[in-house]
Amino acid sequence: MVLEFTEAGIYCPAADAYIDPWRPVPRALITHGHSDHARPGMGAYMATDAAAPVMRHRLGDIRVETTPYGVTHRIGDANISFHPAGHVPGSAQIRVEVGGEVWVASGDYKVIDDGLSEPFEPVKCHAFITESTFGLPIYDWPHQDVLARDLHDWWRQCVSDGKRAVLGVYALGKAQRILRLLDPSIGPILTHGAVEATNDVLRGQGLSLPETVHVVDGVDAKSHPNAIVLAPPSALGSAWMKRFGAVSTGFASGWMRLRGVRRRRAADRGFVVSDHADWKGLNWAIAQTGAERVFVTHGYTAQFSQWLSEQGYDAGIVQTEFGGEDLDEAEENAA
């Protein structure tokens, strides 16, 4: 096998390297900067040019080799290259070729172009390792224009009602994606420290984002009327929120497609948006690879693996410690 599934992570014997390992190893190839994929304690890291700054921000003074997309590196007896995954800025699928056999570890991915991340590029391979965070037909993402309209309608209604709109978003990826959709003519955009710190890193890489105001002492409902606030999910309902007075809370997640989740989140509004592929996207991406073998990781693994087997793929389940878009908010401190 080109890649093996071990207790430390996805291992390539020919390169003596691991992909997104969850235990400390000498060499780690990292698909992206979320905390369930880029973990501390590795001897050396390799990631894309665009993923490395967030990794350094999160993990500190790490030893990381960077690479552009599409450049082949000879590591041991393996040819390894990184290709756009469309998940968050800098995210990658990792292509591994050994003796003419090609495997691709996709990490997390989405196939729509969100205008923020480098667009997903299918990579031909013999075996494909796919996530299945939203691997059921019920998950079908609305167009971004619909999302933007719904966000603005809610924000304007909050202004009309004299309330502050507070939206729960993950700090890396989704926060910036929402930022690019917001119309600042409605009011100022305020950000929690976790979101603003990530914004600073990405702006430092040349990513264009609308002007934001970091919420510090003195920044509140009176100082910034008509504002919308972007904050990690854990901030919703916390003491940090008291400075904004009367609020309406929203939550942005693919899980908002499920009835009952918004109630469990105690949010007034739910917005269906995800940085993971929906059902159609997963199926399209797998078909584009031309792979005959598909290994299904985190998410609806049993259901999606069975579906793929019924479609003629040699499909199996791989247990990993990746979180996907976790209802328990594993990603909220990803940057």
Contact 38, 59 (CB under 8 A): yes
Name the more confident of 335 and 140: 140
Dist CA 334 CA 34 (whole Å): 5
Please give the pLDDT value at position 236.
Answer: 87
Say what the pLDDT of residue 324 is.
80
Strands 189-191 and 164-168: what pairing? unpaired
Question: Above 60 in pLDDT, residue 287?
Answer: yes
**pLDDT tens digits, one per residue of 238-280:** 999 999 999 999 999 999 998 767 666 668 999 999 999 999 9
pLDDT at 262: 60
Residue 330 has pLDDT above 50, yes or no: no
Q: Residue range 79-94: average pLDDT?
A: 98
Helices 193-204, 52-59: crossing angle, 10 deg rounding: 140
pLDDT at residue 59 tops 90: yes
Q: What is the layout of strands, in order, in the sheet containing 314-317? A: 73-75, 78-84, 92-98, 101-105, 127-132, 293-299, 314-317
How far is Cα 322 from Cα 170, in angstroms, rounded to an integer? Answer: 16
Radius of gyration of the chain (CA): 20
Distance CA(209)–CA(221), nearest Å, equals 23
- pLDDT-derived band at 331, boundaries 50, 70, 90: very low
Residue 170: pLDDT band (50, 70, 90) is: very high
- The per-residue pLDDT for range 188-202, each reduced to its tens digit, is 999 999 999 999 999
The reported pLDDT for the residue numbered 263 is: 61
Contact (CB, 8 A) for 76 and 14 = yes
- Is 333's pLDDT higher than 50? no
pTM above 0.85, yes or no: yes
Q: Is the pLDDT assigned to residue 147 strictly greater than 90?
A: yes
Tell me the average pLDDT across 21-46: 97
pLDDT at 267: 82
- Looking at every residue in the chain, the average pLDDT score rounds to 94
* Domains defined along the chain, listed by start: 4-138+275-317 (3.60.15.10), 144-271 (3.40.50.10710)
pLDDT confidence of residue 325:
82
User: What pLDDT, on the 0 to 100 scale, is given for residue 326?
Assistant: 63
Burial of 115 (0-12, 13-18, 19+ CB in 10 A): exposed
